[in-house]
Amino acid sequence: MKSKKVSIIVFYNPEGKILFQSRKLMSKYGEEFGFFGGHIEENESPEEALVREIKEELTYDLKYFKFFKQYGPRVYKDSDWEITHFVFLSKLPHLSNFKQNEGDSMELFTITEAKKLKLVHADYHILDDLELYFKKLK
């Protein structure tokens, strides 16, 4: 069994919308949308990986974020990968701060809308937990 660790960021705005990366032209697992972030390299912390990935994907120096939750390690259906997700939250800066280098585009969705998107399986679990988290903030 192969093992992989990833760090992802959930950018959110005051209206409760979440930023997703369109992955239709670069999909690895059939997903059409996903969160920004990626693979944690050897000897790299989840936080270091997140900052590096956001710099690579959005040309943005991520400074303000907080840890949300760890998912896994878990083997997902029809996969030979054991994956651990480290999920972080950040208030969405103005989109003009981003220069997207990876993905087709980026779009904002409510959690309800996002649950209808074609995502990788783990992202639906994250959305369920985010929904509860944002309800508590209100």
The pLDDT tens digits for 110-123 are 999 999 999 988 89
**Continuous H helices in 2-120:** 46-58, 111-114
Average the pLDDT over 100-109 and give the result.
Answer: 93
Q: Quick check: 126 pLDDT over 90?
A: yes
Q: What is the Cα–Cα distance from 55 to 23, expressed in whole angstroms?
A: 18
Q: Is 23 helix (H, G, I), strand (E, B) or coil?
A: coil
Tell me the backbone φ, ψ of residue 85, rounded to 5 degrees. Answer: -105, 130
Contact, 57 vs 38, CB < 8 A? yes
- Tens digits of residue pLDDT in 20-41: 999 887 777 778 999 999 999 9
Q: What is the pLDDT of residue 138?
A: 66
| pTM reported for the whole predicted model | 0.93
Contact 3, 73 (CB under 8 A): yes
**Where do the domains of the chain lie?**
2-137
Backbone angles phi, psi at 137, to 5 degrees: -75, -20
Q: How are beta strands 33-34 and 18-22 bridged, if at all?
A: antiparallel
Q: What pLDDT sits at residue 75?
A: 84
**2-137: CATH topology:** Nucleoside Triphosphate Pyrophosphohydrolase (3.90.79)
Centre a 10 Å sphere on the Cβ of residue 61 and count the other Cβ atoms it contains: 9
Residue 59 confidence (pLDDT): 96
Does 108 have pLDDT greater than 90? yes
pLDDT in tens, 73-90: 888 666 777 899 999 999
* Nearest Cα to Cα of residue 21 among 2, 37, 39: 37
pLDDT, mean over the chain: 92
